[in-house]
């Protein structure tokens, strides 16, 4: 039974769902749709740029961003990931497409290159543990007769001769789908995905309307898990504490997860009443871009694999922590080799607290099952983190 791992490097062949797979299962593990940006990231700034001056950064890189952050994080954790997105027919679009399809093994059969449309771009500046971003882009135009440089609109689920991404794409059969909810914007594909058996996970952005009304989030009623950050969760629930917000959200969705930034995350299972809270792992953060997407990818992976709530939360927090130590949203997402290397290092740290180490004992057992010690590679160099370089033959 093919699941898309054979052509990938050793650490990308690790399949956390291998024990669950059976004939007749959907080939796709996770479906996403959204906007792919070309991210240009400046790091090593000592402070925020000052108007009228020139600032020099000590580091710079480029990578696919936007929805590509989460798609890459999911793929690096071994999940067969399908992405429906528009790509510009410029060099930026070519780079993003190749980085995702060839570099990460993401299924882009539902994605399209749009003739005459340039790629959306985000410039991100990381300093003092935070980031400032400037973006530019235009909505993808109507898509002519339904053909383009890569792919055709007549692929499964994509109606011909429409704008792209379509307002209501019909997703492929998948174990799960991840959505980013926007107040007042219907996402009809979520209901279709749920009807076809997908488990829906959703995050949310800042409510520009200022109303912070949960009833204005179309698709929330279809979600198995909702993962806002603390500020968003408290505003939506009119509470003063992230933990109270998580409990309130668990009355609306089966599982509520509230991320607490440097303080970790808290989760409440509305069905069983189970709660879990895991502190963040202290790391030297280089660039927090995409850390929230990596967290969601880790939680989705653990949920699909059937792990306990606290383990899912700890795993998601670990993947996010490892990601902020490198620059870029998608290029910094860890794979299983990075997780194995971290587990090996942390056990040798002098003065390591036994209780803290015990929290991640599940990771050791998981790695022993998925990635035998004899075959564990050291973290490898991944996609080239800038457009200009080419790999040596």
| 302-312 confidence digits (pLDDT tens) | 999 999 999 99
Tally of CA atoms within 13 A in the half-sphere of 100 that contains its CB: 36
Scan for tokens 């280089």, then name that residue.
286
Q: Which pLDDT band holds residue 194 (cuts at 50, 70, 90)? A: very high
Question: Does pLDDT of 377 surpass 80?
Answer: no
Q: pLDDT digits over 154-171, tens only?
A: 334 433 333 445 555 678
Backbone angles phi, psi at 28, to 5 degrees: -85, 130
Q: pLDDT grade, residue 97 (50/70/90)?
A: very high
pTM, two decimal places: 0.87
Q: Which residues contact 269 (CB under 8 A, 6 or more apart)?
A: 250, 254, 255, 275, 309
pLDDT over threshold 50, residue 297: yes
Average pLDDT over residues 222-244: 97
pLDDT at 148 (0 to 100) = 41
Report CA torsion sign: 213, 214, 215, 216. Answer: positive
Which top CATH class is 10-46+56-375? alpha beta
State yes or no: pLDDT of 81 exceeds 60: yes
Domain ranges of the chain: 10-46+56-375
Give the pLDDT confidence score for residue 60 in this predicted structure: 81
| The residue count for the chain | 393
pLDDT tier for residue 369 given thresholds of 50, 70 and 90:
confident
Whether residue 26 contacts residue 172, with contact meaning beta carbons closer than 8 Å, is answered with yes
The answer to whether residue 78 scores a pLDDT higher than 50 is: yes
User: What mean pLDDT do residues 234-241 have?
Assistant: 97
Confidence of residue 381 (pLDDT cuts 50, 70, 90): very low
Q: Report the share of the chain in percent with pLDDT over 90.
A: 56
User: Which phi and psi (to 5°) does residue 136 adopt?
Assistant: -145, 140
Dihedrals phi, psi of 284, to nearest 5 degrees:
-85, 105
What's residue 293's pLDDT? Answer: 93
Across the chain, what does the average pLDDT equal?
Answer: 83
Q: pLDDT per residue over 118-135, tens digit each?
A: 999 999 887 776 778 899
Sign of CA dihedral 357, 318, 103, 154: positive
Reported confidence tier of residue 387, pLDDT bands at 50, 70, 90? low
* Three-state SS letters, the chain: CCCCCCCCCHHHHCCCCHHHCCCCCCCEEEEEECCEEEEEEEEEECCCCCCCCCCCCCEEEEEEEEHHHHHHHHHHCCCCEEEECEEECCHHHHHHHHHHHHHHCCECCCCEEECCCCCCEEEEEEECCEEEEEEECCCCCECCCCECCCCECCCCCCCCCCECCCCCCCCCCEEEEEEEECCCCCCHHHHHHHHCCCEEEEEECCCCCCCCCHHHCCCHHHEEEECCEHHHHHHHHCCCCHHHHHHHHCCCCCEEEEECHHHCEEEEECCCCCEEEECCCCCCCCCCCCHHHHHHHHHHHHHHHCCCHHHHHHHHHHHHHHHCCCCCCCCCCCCHHHHHHHHHHHHCCCCCCHHHHHHCHHHHHHHHHHCCHHHCCCCCCCCCCCCCCCCCC
Return the ∠ at Cα 79 (arms to 75 and 85), rounded to 5°: 55
What is residue 168's predicted lDDT score, i.e. its pLDDT? Answer: 56
């Amino acid at each position: 039974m093919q699941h898309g791992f054979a052509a990938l490097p050793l650490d990308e062949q690790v399949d956390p769902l291998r024990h669950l797979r059976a004939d007749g299962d959907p080939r796709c593990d996770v479906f996403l749709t959204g906007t792919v940006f070309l991210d240009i990231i400046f790091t090593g700034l000592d402070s925020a740029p000052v108007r009228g001056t020139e600032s020099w950064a000590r580091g710079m890189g480029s990578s696919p961003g936007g929805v590509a952050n989460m798609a890459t994080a999911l793929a690096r954790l071994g999940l067969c990931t399908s992405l429906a997105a528009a790509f510009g027919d410029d060099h930026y679009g070519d780079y993003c497409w190749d980085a995702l399809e060839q570099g990460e093994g993401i299924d882009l059969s539902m994605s399209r290159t749009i003739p005459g449309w340039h790629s959306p771009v985000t410039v991100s500046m990381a300093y003092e543990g935070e980031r400032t971003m400037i973006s530019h882009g235009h909505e993808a135009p109507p898509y002519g007769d339904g053909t383009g440089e890569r792919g055709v609109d007549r692929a499964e689920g994509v109606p011909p001769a429409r704008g792209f991404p379509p307002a209501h794409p019909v997703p492929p059969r998948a174990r799960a789908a991840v959505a980013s909810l926007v107040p007042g914007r219907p996402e009809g594909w979520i209901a279709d995905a749920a009807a076809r058996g997908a488990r829906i996970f959703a995050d949310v952005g800042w409510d520009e309307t200022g109303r912070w009304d949960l009833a204005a989030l179309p698709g929330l009623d279809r979600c198995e898990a909702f993962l806002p950050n603390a500020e968003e969760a408290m505003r939506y629930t009119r509470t003063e504490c992230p933990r109270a917000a998580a409990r309130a959200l668990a009355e609306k969705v089966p599982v509520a997860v509230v991320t607490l930034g440097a303080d970790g995350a808290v989760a409440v299972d509305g069905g069983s009443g189970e709660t879990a809270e895991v502190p963040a792992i202290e790391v030297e953060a280089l660039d927090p871009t995409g850390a929230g997407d990596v967290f969601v990818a880790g939680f989705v992976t653990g949920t699909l694999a059937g792990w306990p709530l606290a383990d899912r939360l700890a795993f998601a927090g670990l993947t996010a922590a490892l990601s902020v130590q490198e620059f870029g949203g998608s290029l910094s997402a860890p794979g299983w080799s990075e997780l194995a290397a971290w587990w090996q290092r942390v056990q040798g740290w002098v003065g390591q607290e036994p209780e803290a180490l015990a929290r991640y004992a599940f990771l050791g057992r998981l790695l022993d099952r998925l990635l035998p010690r004899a075959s564990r590679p050291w973290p490898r160099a991944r996609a080239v983190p800038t457009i200009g370089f080419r790999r040596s033959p």
